[in-house]
Amino acid sequence: MHEATVILAVLFLATGAALSVAAIAAGWIMPGRGRAKVLRPRVWGYGTLVANAGIGTYLFVGPLQGPDMGNFPVAMGGMAVFAAGMYVQRQAMKPAGARKTSS
């Protein structure tokens, strides 16, 4: 069962990396409901790439590695990188240069 989980994780991360590269290189995002919300596809691609790196680090250093708690800080660092990537993706849904102003 462990091998199947690892294979699924690798396929998931490879698909995410391919979609990220397509968004960065060509500005293309896969069709779907969320596509209309993304105003800056290249920024979205960078965010997805960073998020994939974070979740990959978390998975392969944390739960898929085994019960060793010595890698816990590195796994949690991967989760922080994942959160940063998700933040960048969220920024891609805002127009370029949009800033909150106090009035």
Q: Return the domain boundaries, the chain.
A: 42-93
pLDDT at 77 over 80: yes
Q: What is the mean pLDDT of the chain?
A: 91
The answer to whether 95 and 68 have CB atoms below 8 angstroms apart is no
Q: What is the dihedral of CA 71, 74, 78, 84, to 10 degrees?
A: 150
The mean-pLDDT minimum among 30-34, 53-57, 89-93, 98-102 falls in: 98-102
pLDDT, residue 103, reads 62
**Strand, coil or helix: 79:** helix
pTM as predicted = 0.85
Identify the residue with better confidence: 55 or 62.
55
Q: What is the mean predicted confidence (pLDDT) over 78-93? A: 96
